[in-house]
Structure 1
Amino acid sequence: MADFAGTGRKRPLLNINFQNLLLDPENPRLPQDVQGKSQNDIIYALYKFFDTEELAYSMSENGYFDEEPLVAVPENLLDKFIGLSYEDLKNNQDYNNFINNPETKFIVLEGNRRLSTIKLLLDDSLRNELKIKTFPSPEEKILEDLKNIPVIIYPERKQVLPYLGVRHISGIKKWEPYAKARYVANMVKAGNTIDEIQKQVGDRTNSAKKIYLSYQLIETVRDEFDLDTSKAENLFSYLLLATGQGGVKDFIGLDKKLQNVDLENPVPCDKLENLKDLFSWLFGEKETEKLPVIQESRDITSKLSPVLRKSHAVQILKETRNLDDAYEMSDGEDELLKKNLSKANRLLATSLGLFNDSNKEFVLDDIKKIKETLDKILLINDIKL
């Protein structure tokens, strides 16, 4: 029997009543606090965060395009079908009777935004319950069209994951970074290795490893310190950028080569506090109302990474949470002294050409202060010129 992801096609395409279709509580695109919640909670989250209202206006004009079927799995697959591929099931009359039974319900794994829109369009009471007053009111013929939806049926969730990865990681309908990371984590939980996942989705840039590493860092911080990681999830690209920087890798104990990192336990125990500090500097601390020290993503590469290479600069950052001050110290005190004296000398050389009879009295006090400072430097350091 063939062992590739597309084996067994064509899978059954059924027209299923919308009431028999359930939204996926494990949808990688859902916010963390919505995952596992009720159907109504998921519908409202999709409305709030993914603009189902726009889709509703399109559907109210066009109905449902059969060219874009949903993809679903049975909610409660019978035990005798578990573990069997569709190649094994396609000629199984019991299985065909089961999926065609009007009582069988299905969890939609691809097309949740479309399904939630349909449920809202067809249910006035649901819209009232969720206080959604901006949806259109389609004509009756459109409503009839939306009641039965084309759905491709897979036996089990794990068999759909390769398709979702190709579509949303390397395909044309890419998810946002954290949703991709959740997908990769689900694939790993289903028994796939990262290398297998990358082959399945056509990933040639190690993006699956990179996003899974950052996902694991979020999980580690949440598990070890019970911190709110919602901002890290929303700004997941910051974490992806940070974990590619040498200074950050050294600070949290990551091997410089990605292929050598233990993705299940990426941070050594003695570096966990450093990981906590890194998250605080990148995303702030909701619990203590501390703001992040970075203002924009380029601060990670231009300032934070150099700071993390120098222990004295890290200490200043810990004490002051001022990234600019810490960055000034990231080259060491000797380099900072040399830098400051060179800057002062350049400014004095520039000022030399500006002196004239009309302004010398105006700047005399400043000149005296400069001389006093130079005299102190010479005296304190026993320098004779």
Structure 2
Amino acid sequence: MQNGVERIVKLDQLLLDPNNYRFQDDPTFQFAQALRFHETMVQRKTFERIRGEGINDLKASIRHNGFLTFERIIVRPYERGDLFVVIEGNRRVAALRSLKEDYEAGIDVPPEVVSVFQELPVSCVESDDSALHLSLMGIRHVSGVRQWGSYQSSKLVSELHDEHDLEFSEIGSRLGMSTREVTRRYRAFKALRQMEEDEEFSEYCERRMYPMFHEAVSQPMIRQWLQWDESSSEFKDETNLRHFYELIASIQNDEGLETKAKITTANEVRELKTIIGSPEARMVLSDPNRSFAEALAVAKTEELQHAWTTQVAEANKALAGIPALELRRLEPEHLAVLETLSQTLQDVLDTYRRLARS
């Protein structure tokens, strides 16, 4: 990946990125036009948004320790003048701006920090390759120390694949993720986007639902139930998909009454695979008067009822595998175990025959 050119710039030359991925899970987020990043209101709103997420700890660290330059702020040239857009380091730039405001308001700021306002070391990526810019952001925030939320990272994966034609393996190499996890995040983002674009359910779709879609595309049985299509990156079973949406969304009917979502966490989506394998449990889940927990209890009861067949098969395999030499040297207590097993088997068969005759 291309290295940046070391530069010394003034703090006022840096533009916060109003389209920062960290903002994009907010339902009120709207993209700013690229040629308007420099406008005062655009920068003010971006600064206030970052400050609202919390930079006091970062300010305190810079005030106490000075501005540490070993981890460079990464920027790219802006289209106008001698300005630069911050690719990586928006929180640090916002913290420096806040300290500069404090200083200009007469608040004491250490001289070594004040000097940074005029001479700030940055790494400038001269390339206009937007895929490179996205990758540089992702290195720190997808698998790095200050990670974005899952929605933002999956959106980045989707953009790198769809808009920049990068293969999943290449995206994984750039972001420090496995190809398998890149694939899951891409599928989950597309599945969530499918609900966002659904004519009937779009109003109920929320980006906080992303973890549930990530779990849904990660479970082979659920992917099969919803008929995930790899070529179009969407679910194809409209009936089951509608049912899934109804399970994860709180929906108002025509009378204004709200039906609460039965599934609200990724863990419950994981458990859904147990329910869809049981016709009786599926009926319970479809009943508006019964809960997800009740449906899961029915499914797990069925699992326990059928577990004995597997256990008997394993016991039979173990018995068949006892070597002849071992049989000749059986201890009395071992023989007693086998005789008890034989008697238990005879009792089960006798009970079956009596029930069959009645």
Q: Same fold (TM over 0.5)?
A: yes
Counterpart check, 1:13 vs 2:13: no
SS at match of 2:122: strand
8 Å contact from structure 1 (residues 34, 42) kept in 2 = no
Q: Which residue of 1 aligns with 2:202?
A: 226
- Cα separation, 1, equivalents of 2:282 and 2:152: 32
| Structure 1 match to 2:234 | 266
In the alignment, the residues of structure 2 paired with residue 324 and residue 71 of structure 1 have an alpha-carbon distance, to the nearest angstrom, of 49
Do the aligned partners of 1:314 and 1:326 also contact (CA within 8 Å) in 2? yes
Distance 1:330 1:15 in 2: 64
How do 1:1-385 and structure 2 match up within 5 A?
5-6=1-2, 9=3, 11-30=4-23, 31-32=25-26, 33-36=28-31, 38-49=42-53, 51-76=54-79, 103-123=81-101, 138-139=109-110, 141-154=112-125, 155-156=127-128, 157-188=130-161, 189-204=163-178, 206-224=180-198, 225-230=201-206, 233-234=207-208, 236-254=210-228, 261-262=230-231, 264-268=232-236, 270-271=237-238, 274-282=240-248, 284-285=250-251, 289-294=258-263, 297-302=266-271, 304-310=272-278, 313-320=281-288, 322-330=291-299
The whole-number CA distance in structure 1 between the counterparts of 2:104 and 2:240 is 47
Cross-structure match for 1:85: none
Which residue matches 1:86?
none
In 1, are the aligned partners of 2:204 and 2:249 still within 8 Å (CA)? no
The worse-fitting range, judged by mean Cα deviation, of 305-314 and 16-25 is 305-314
Deviations 1:132-185 (A, max 9, x none): xxxx86345523423442221123232223333443334455433222112212
**TM-score, normalised to structure 1's length?**
0.63
Change (3 A) 1:295 1:159: closer
Partners of 2:264 and 2:165 lie apart in 1 by: 39
Moved more, 105-114 or 199-208: 199-208
C-alpha deviation, 1:15, in angstroms: 1.8
Greater helix content? 2
CA distance in 2, matches of 1:141, 1:298: 50
CA distance in structure 2 between the aligned counterparts of 1:204 and 1:314, rounded to whole angstroms: 35
Percent identical residues: 19
Task: Tell me if structure 2 keeps the 8 A contact 1:63–1:145.
Answer: no
* Amino acid of the structure 2 residue aligned with 1:203: M
For structure 2, list consecutive stretches of 5 or more residues without a partner in the other structure: 33-41, 307-355
Q: 1:54 Cα shift?
A: 0.8
Aligned-partner Cα distance in 1 for 2:44–2:133: 24
Does the CA contact (< 8 Å) of 2:102 and 2:108 recur in 1?
no
Higher deviation after alignment, 287-296 or 321-330 = 287-296
Q: Is the 8 A contact 1:56 1:121 kept in 2?
A: yes
Could you tell me how far apart the structure 1 residues matched to 2:13 and 2:252 are? Answer: 40
Deviation of the 1:311 alpha carbon: 5.3
Cα–Cα, structure 1 residues 61 and 125, in superposed 2: closer, same or farther, change >3 Å? closer
SS in 2 for 1:109: strand
Change (3 A) 1:147 1:236: farther
Question: How far apart, CA to CA, are the structure 1 residues paired with 2:258 and 2:101?
Answer: 41
Instruction: Specify whether residues 182 and 296 from structure 1 end up closer, same or farther in structure 2 by C-alpha distance, changes over 3 A only.
Output: closer
SS at match of 1:29: helix
Count of aligned residue pairs for this structure pair: 287
Q: Distance in 1 between matches of 2:68 and 2:261?
A: 45
Contact 1:221–1:227 under 8 Å retained in 2:
no
- Give the counterpart letter for 1:143 in structure 2: V
User: Is the deviation greater in 168-177 or in 187-196?
Assistant: 168-177
Are the aligned partners of 1:24 and 1:112 in contact in 2 as well (CA < 8 Å)?
Answer: yes
Q: Distance in 1 between matches of 2:22 and 2:8?
A: 25
Aligned counterpart, 2:328: none
Q: Deviations over 1:295-325 (max 9, x none)?
A: 65433333x2222334554454233161123
Structure 1: segments with no counterpart, 5+ residues: 78-102, 128-135, 256-260, 340-382
The 2-side partners of 1:197 and 1:184 are apart by 7
* Aligned mates of 1:181, 1:297 — CA distance in 2: 16
TM-score, reference length from structure 2: 0.67
CA contact (8 A) 2:248 2:264 kept: no
Task: Say whether the 8 Å CA contact 2:226–2:241 is kept in structure 1.
Answer: yes
Q: 1:111, CA displacement in angstroms? A: 0.7
Instruction: Name the CA distance, whole Å, in 2 between partners of 1:137 and 1:310.
Output: 68
What letter corresponds to residue 83 of structure 2 in structure 1? Answer: K
Q: CA deviation at 1:21?
A: 1.4
Aligned counterpart, 2:338: none
Instruction: Report the secondary structure of 1:72's partner residue.
Output: strand
